[in-house]
Amino acid sequence: MHADDTLGRPSGPWTALRGPVARSGPARAGRPRPSAARGGGAGRGGPRRPGPPRGTLLGGLRQLHRRAKRAWDRPLTAYYLVMGGSLLITVLGLVMVYSASQIKALQNGLPPTFFFRKQLLAAAIGTVMLLVAARMPVRLLRVFAYPALAGSLFLLCLVQVPGIGQTINGNTNWISLGGPFQLQPSEFAKLALVLWGADLLARKQSKKLLTQWKHLLVPLVPVTFVLLGLIMLGGDMGTTVVLTTVLLGLLWVAGAPTRLFAGVFGVTAVLAVLFIKTSANRMSRLACIGATDPGDHDQCWQAVHGIYALANGGWFGAGLGASVEKWGELPEPHTDFIFAITGEELGLAGTLSVLALFAALGYAGIRVAGRTEDPFVRYAAGGVTTWITAQAVVNIGAVLGLLPIAGVPLPLFSYGGSALLPTMFAIGLLIAFARDEPGARAALAMRQPGVRWKTMRRRVKKRPSGER
């Protein structure tokens, strides 16, 4: 390290020595040593105080903080967080689906690996969709947005046709595909809304129309309300909450003014209260927030036994496969309440690991949306991040007893192919967007086999013979 690097910008007589002349000849010998400069050299901010010694705890923490900061600022940080975080969540989810679903399968007269095999097949198809999405150009994605929205609307209408739509647990939101396979169109509507909304807002921004409130709302809000209405006809309140959050996230990223944002939020809140008040089932779910007793007619049975499962896990869990609540006590152990089984078998350490992975995924999505210069990428990344994080919060909050049970799966983790496939496609979009961050593509090219070594070898040949 040169003395100028330590002292800051030179002043006084040192100013005349800046430039190529100051780096050679006798003038170089007149410089103070770096060690002396660290002790009390005069810099831009006056005398510099000596930092903590490297051997102390405080010095080690500061050095660790600097290294972590440099790592977060690297161009490939978001890329690796999305890739690694989504992969770990999916693999851990497969393990927990296998563990949590065995007893349920045996109770239904099915092989113990029935649900795991279906989830593994969905994960394989989802991986192909992820790779396709990661390689799709942005222009093709924008063209794909409108057929995806039209297809989602058609399937949501098809669900309400008697004889086609299937009712499960009081909600009519499925279409039978034959045999054990079913399709839930509302899950694909989330992806369609993100792509269509991002393209709509990007086109309006290019025409400088987003400064007018009517262009912010129309047709984004009416089309979203049509999707919400079709989903609510089937009784799926949880998916409507997630879709509403996606709408609010798109408006937030688009820079909607606070009063407009608050107005949309107020209208959706009034509609939510109306839908809850008119349904005894939803009112009972709202009454189970924070419940510690199953109550009359065991209406809070699922919520209370989810808390029991988490309490049984302790710090490090009872062990993989050793859950007690999955033996018929906890309904839906492999879908909506798989987080509770994770807490019982892997303990607090396992649940905190899952939370950390979702937090890293959310941070990566926010970083991608904040660094891109493409409006479509910004809105799409913001919409996908809002979708995944909001759905994770709703699911985990219900398991912890902090939110009403909404019946939404934990993204990439719970059992359900209809939820896994569009989510993995959305993760592929985030991977593609993260790869196009400033400097990320060049950094990936440097990491190709043989490129880095050849580049370093060329640099070595250009160095002067006497330079260290």
DSSP string, 433-445: HHHTSTTHHHHHH
- Model confidence at 68: pLDDT above 90: no
Q: Can you tell me the distance from the alpha carbon of 201 to that of 375, in angstroms, rounded to the nearest whole number?
A: 8
Tokens encoding 413? 């983790």
- Computed over every residue of the chain, the mean pLDDT equals 83
Kindly give, in sequence order, each residue whose CB lies less than 8 Å from that of residue 325, ignoring residues fewer than 6 positions away: 305, 306, 308, 309, 312, 333, 340, 341, 344
Paired with 172 in beta bridges are 167
94, 410 in Cβ contact below 8 A?
Answer: no
What's the CA angle centered on 297, arms 296 and 298, to 5 degrees?
90
Res. 266: pLDDT tops 80: yes
Consecutive H or E run containing 308: helix 301-313
Flag the least confident range among 300-314, 378-392, 409-423, 452-466: 452-466
Two tokens at 384?
């996908």
Mean pLDDT, residues 410-432: 96
CA separation for the pair 191, 179 (Å, rounded) = 26
**What distance lies between CA 177 and its chain's CA centroid?**
30
Phi and psi of 190, rounded to 5°?
A: -65, -50
- pLDDT category, 458, cuts 50, 70, 90? very low
Tell me the residue type at 242: V
Alpha-carbon gap, residue 123 to 130, rounded angstroms: 10
Taking the alpha carbons of 321, 323, 327, 329 in that order, is the dihedral positive or negative?
negative
CB 189 within 8 A of CB 198: no
pLDDT at position 319 is: 93
> What gap in Å lies between CA 112 and CA 152, rounded to an integer?
33
Task: Give the pLDDT of residue 55.
Answer: 61
In this predicted structure, what is the pLDDT of residue 342?
97
pLDDT of residue 8: 41
- CA distance readout (Å), 281 to 183, 275, 395, 421: 24, 11, 18, 29
DSSP string, 219-255: THHHHHHHHHHHHHHTT-HHHHHHHHHHHHHHHHHTT
Higher pLDDT, 49 or 246: 246
Helix (H, G, I), strand (E, B) or coil at 318: coil
Average pLDDT on 302-309 reads 93
d(CA 326, CA 288): 20
Residue 39 pLDDT exceeds 50: no
Q: Is 332 strand, coil or helix?
A: coil
33, with CB counted inside 10 A (0-12, 13-18, 19+), is exposed
Longest dimension (CA), the chain: 94
Confidence band (pLDDT; 50, 70, 90) for 329?
Answer: confident
Q: Is 344 in contact with 310 (CB distance < 8 Å)?
A: yes
Range of lowest pLDDT (230-234, 296-300, 410-414, 420-424): 296-300
pLDDT bucket at 49, cuts 50 / 70 / 90: low
Residue 121: both structure tokens together: 């097949």
| Better-predicted residue by pLDDT, 463 or 237 | 237
The pLDDT of residue 367: 92
Q: What is the pLDDT of residue 363?
A: 94
Query: Which pTM value belongs to this model?
Result: 0.82
Q: How far is CA 261 from CA 205, 213, 315, in A?
A: 18, 10, 41
- In angstroms, the CA 345 to CA 324 distance is 9
Alpha helix (H) residue ranges in 372-450: 375-399, 417-435, 440-446
**Whole-number pLDDT of residue 444:** 74
